[in-house]
Structure 1
Amino acid sequence: MKYLLSFLLFLSMAQCRDKNVAPETLQPLVGKWRLEAYEVTNNGKKEWVLAYDNRTPANYLIFRSDGAILHRNDLGICCGPNALNINGKTFEINPQSPIPYNPGCALIDCIGCPTWEIKLTDDEFILTLCSLSSKSKYVRVP
């Protein structure tokens, strides 16, 4: 009987473990990032195209320490993910403070991706949406 109780206690404790990756995985992503380029396919060849020039304003993403994602105007993004897969490790987004409502989202019919794939290296990351070939390159803004 003692072994059965010990086993049940062990099982219940195993279920209580944190399903989020340690914040250390998210920390390098926290801050402001500028969309630098996006990948396109021309004549069967993939290439990067600059995302902005003198005529178009730069596009920014801001990652908070709880995983929440904001636009450059500090409003929530439309159709955001529920989780981030950062270099193969999943981080579930659980905002610890309210995300400012973005009124522009009322005009969008969301078919978002539940998880964003992010390949992070130092001050750059590649964002892949919905496991498709849609890739965007972001660089850290100091």
Structure 2
Amino acid sequence: MATDPIPRFTLSGGRRHDPQVEAWLSTRPAELAVLAGGWIQRLRDCGDDVLELMHDGQATACVGEVAFAYVGIYARHVSVGFFRGAELSDPLRLLEGKGKLMRHVKLRPNSAIDAPALARLIQRAYSAASAPAR
């Protein structure tokens, strides 16, 4: 059986609702925490198999142990990132980054974002993580 040319990024210890995620949000500036919290909920809503944990200071979503997305809070923005974002179809070119795999979308308070397009990216990343390994 063939395997992914690049192994999936896996993390153990995820929980359906990790209290560390809420604790982390509570320590961030309110405006950014509210923005991040909405996108964390979008990740949770992808499916009953989504688990979360804090990894590298970011709320990270996994299907089982396969990490597919994260939400990070920075000084002036929130990032929704994808561990295999370079492989996602992104016709509106929301994704930023030049690495081999990872991509992210920067969100700023009071700035417009195509929320439906970002939601589609999240769904694509979730679907890819849910699919059997190639």
TM-score tier after normalising by the smaller chain length:
under 0.3
Report the TM-score when normalising by structure 2: 0.27
Larger helix proportion of the pair: 2
Instruction: Give me the TM-score of the superposition, normalised by structure 1.
Output: 0.26
Larger Rg: 1
- Quick check: which one's strand share is greater? 1
